[in-house]
Amino acid sequence: MQTFPMFLTMNQRTVIIAGGGEQAAQKARLIARTTAGIVLVAPDLDPELAGLVGAGRARHLTDPAKADWAGASLVFVATGDAARDRALHHLAKQRGAALVNVVDRPALCDAFTPAIVDRDPVVVAIGTEGTAPVLGRNIRARIETLLEPRLGDLAALAGRLRGAVEAGIPHEGRRAFWDWVFRTVRPADGIDAAAQQIKTAIAAGGPPPPAGRISLIGAGPGAADLLTLRGLRRLQEADVIFYDRLIDPAVLDLARRDAERISVGKEVGGNAWPQDRINGVIVAAARAGKLVVRLKSGDPGVFGRATEEIAAARAAGIAVEIVPGVTAAAGAAASLTRSLTERGETDTLVLTTGRCRPGDPSPDWAAHVSPGTTTCFYMAVGAAPQIRDRLLAAGTPQDIEVDVIVAAQSAEERQLAGRLGDLPDLVSGIGSGAIIVLRWPKAVSRRTRVASVAARSHALAQHRHYAT
């Protein structure tokens, strides 16, 4: 390690920024967030820097010789001109400046500006010793997604309540108390609610017994980076994770290292993990005071059997929530680089399924598939012949577009394109995990309307007759 990371107190300190353009403005934005005084050294200033001077947040010197280089705690040289940067670096060091940073010139730097994640008073700094600043910024972006936006508010509240904790919580229990605060109290719910939750625990002499919670989280259709930020945070809070068969292992890697992981994936036609058993284990874990994540592919509310798990949780008196995810139809459309709807052509979007409860009749597909509609079929590969036959019998044109996206948004993704009349052949050999997308634009309807209306009306009447 050639550099030593350190946080400097900035009260009563001065920072000199030599330069009057965008590079200097970037450094000024950082320092203006601290309590340090700012001196801008440049013949002219851009409007942003001039605004800092006008607001009294910075002083402006046009002559570098008049700057107190030795009195500055930190100097940034940021003119954007290589020769000018070197000259100002030489002047600053000659006049006694201890720490000088010349932007984009590591060989002239005594200190490097880290990539910063700011949740004041919580600050995370990422440094690469000047070798790879873009990497530092990429790491910062990842950490930004991990930390609650209002985490700093919670840290500041903890600082204000530290004395009350010392007075109300025995010494041997304080570490566990603060662990409870930072694992359980959610600043996103509001800092007033957080304060009341902590004060109630202080008055009681310690945190309440662990209260279980179940979060039904949509992991998206495949790629781990399609997980939402809220889903990521719940994963990192979880004590135990029950996950589906189609979940990308990279999603599980985002969870707490010590979280228990249990696969409850159901193979098509199998019953190793029937729904009643899944309901039982997630409720039992929550009753034991654990934070439970039920991780589902796609979105829990779209053919994810969320209703049954919510009902089981509520019957047991356990708090439950849904964290939505990117549903498979949206992931499939994104893979095709195509909108699911098109103004004036496909103004209606239908999500339906090819598989229902045992003994239940199939959905009325022919009633849903109509001109101006995009229809997405979930879990429908096995029902492809019936879907085709029903739709054709109802007068749906056999040449309308069909796309089949297998394992959308994953490394194993495949795309197949064809026509409704060829649907069974198109999906031949495909297992589960495919979405069938059928588009019937109004333009196609206008060409086929006369020929299809009579046949469609007759077929719908017949289908409803047999269904009853």
On whether the CB atoms of residues 61 and 37 are closer than 8 A, the answer is no
Residue-wise pLDDT tens digits, 37-58: 999 999 999 999 999 999 999 9
On whether the CB atoms of residues 67 and 77 are closer than 8 A, the answer is no
Catalytic residue among 244, 248, 299, 403: 244
Q: Mark whether 118 is an active-site residue.
A: no
Q: Mark whether 244 is an active-site residue.
A: yes
Residue-wise pLDDT tens digits, 300-350: 999 989 999 999 999 999 999 999 999 999 999 999 999 999 999 999 999
Q: What is the mean pLDDT of residues 413-421?
A: 95
**For the chain, what's the residue count?**
468
**Which of residues 17 and 452 earns the better pLDDT score?**
17
Q: What is the rounded CA–CA span in Å between residue 394 and residue 118?
A: 60
pLDDT value at residue 268: 52
Torsion angle, alpha carbons of 426, 360, 352, 454, to 10 = 80
**What is the widest separation between alpha-carbon atoms in the chain?**
96
Q: Is the peptide bond before 208 cis (omega within 30 degrees of 0)?
A: no
pLDDT value at residue 313: 96
Residue-wise pLDDT tens digits, 358-371: 888 889 999 999 99
Starting at the edge strand found earlier in the chain, the sheet holding 58-61 runs 58-61, 37-41, 14-18, 74-77, 100-102
Question: Of 152, 212, 216, 214, nearest to 187 (Cα)?
Answer: 152
Kind of pairing, strands 115-119 and 122-126? antiparallel
Q: Mean pLDDT across the chain, nearest whole number?
A: 90
Does the pLDDT value for residue 430 go beyond 50? yes
Residue-wise pLDDT tens digits, 70-108: 999 999 999 999 999 999 999 999 999 999 999 999 999
**pTM of whole model > 0.75?**
no
Q: Cβ contacts of residue 52 below 8 Å, gap of 6+?
A: 28, 32, 38, 40, 58
Catalytic residue among 266, 364, 399, 442: 266
